[in-house]
Amino acid sequence: MKKMILFALLAAPLIGVAADAVSNQAAAPSNAPAAQQDTAERNKMLYSLGFLLGDNLKRQLILDNEDDYKALSQGMRDSLLNKKAQTDLEKYKPQIIQKYQADARTIAAKREAEQQEYLANFQKEKGVKTLDNGAMIKLSKSGKGKNPKADSIVKVHYTGTLIDGTKFDSSRDRGQEFQMRLTDVIPCWTKAVQQMKPGARAQVVCPPDTAYGNRPVGQIPPNSALVFDIELFEIVK
């Protein structure tokens, strides 16, 4: 059982990151010979994969000093090179699980404090309107016409980020406006977009319980406050 728990902690998040890293690689134009270019691109891809794996690990673990990093990287290197482990792995698996669990609680508490501070500071900004479900909206551009209703179909552009600015989605990046019914989106959007008129643009801040709650979604960790830059183009219906 402990072995299965450990595998879930270590492997599952990393597989998703690895898949993203491989699928997002694009070969850059080059005049170098094909073999040389292939080797260089492979090295860049593997470096990028390693960087993403490290980025994922630091979101789950607290490493306090250079010795921590050296010990972790040496263990990963020995495993990848099929070397014999320098420790009794079975002995340390319970401690590894305990560390993951303790670090997860610490990281979650820190994120919660940072989010509460962000929400409180945003709420104090001039022009911010707090809606009855806790979502907040600040118009940067007024629109004209009628406001959409709770079941309207609308067409928008949006960019979504975490409070630290990490972008997790953007219709602008895809170059395609997003059309949806307001009953089919997160509660934050259902309420906030009703405050906008065609042509309006707004910053919308969603507390976790108006977004995805305790469900992880893609790059969005559980219990995340979300920030959206939304432009309303059209009320389709």
The answer, yes or no, to whether residue 123 has pLDDT greater than 50, is: yes
| In contact, 231 and 198? CB cutoff 8 Å | no
Whether residue 228 lies in the annotated active site = yes
Two tokens at 229?
């830059």
DSSP string, 111-172: HHHHHHHHHHHHHHSTTEEE-TTS-EEEEEE---SPPPPTT-EEEEEEEEEETT--EEEEHH
69 catalytic, yes or no? no
Confidence (pLDDT) at 52: 85
Structural domain of residue 68, as residue ranges? 2-111
Question: Rounded to two decimals, what is the model's pTM?
Answer: 0.72
For residue range 206-237, what is the model confidence (pLDDT) as tens digits? 999 999 998 888 888 889 999 999 999 999 98
| Phi, psi of 14, rounded to the nearest 5 degrees | -75, -30
Structure-model confidence comparison of residues 37 and 191, the more confident one:
191
Residue 233 catalytic?
no
In this model, does residue 35 exceed pLDDT 70? Answer: no
User: Annotated catalytic, 158?
Assistant: yes
73-109 per-position pLDDT tens digit: 999 999 999 999 999 999 999 999 999 999 989 988 9
CA–CA distance, 51 with 21 (Å, rounded to integer)? 10
As a whole number of angstroms, the distance between CA 137 and CA 31 comes to: 50
How many angstroms separate the first and last alpha carbons of the chain? 53
CATH number at 154 reads 3.10.50.40
Task: Output the pLDDT for position 59.
Answer: 78
Amino acid code (one letter) for 227? V
Of the residues 111, 142, 166, which one is the last residue of a structural domain? 111
32, 60: one domain: yes
169 is annotated as an active-site residue:
yes
Report the alpha-carbon angle 30-35-39, nearest 5. Answer: 85
Are 135 and 82 in the same domain? Answer: no
Residue 24: what pLDDT?
44
Q: Is 212 a catalytic residue?
A: yes
Mean per-residue pLDDT over the chain, rounded: 86
Active-site residue, from 100, 118, 168, 178: 168
Q: Which of 52, 81, 111 is the last residue of a domain?
A: 111
The Cα–Cα gap between 63 and 61 comes to 6
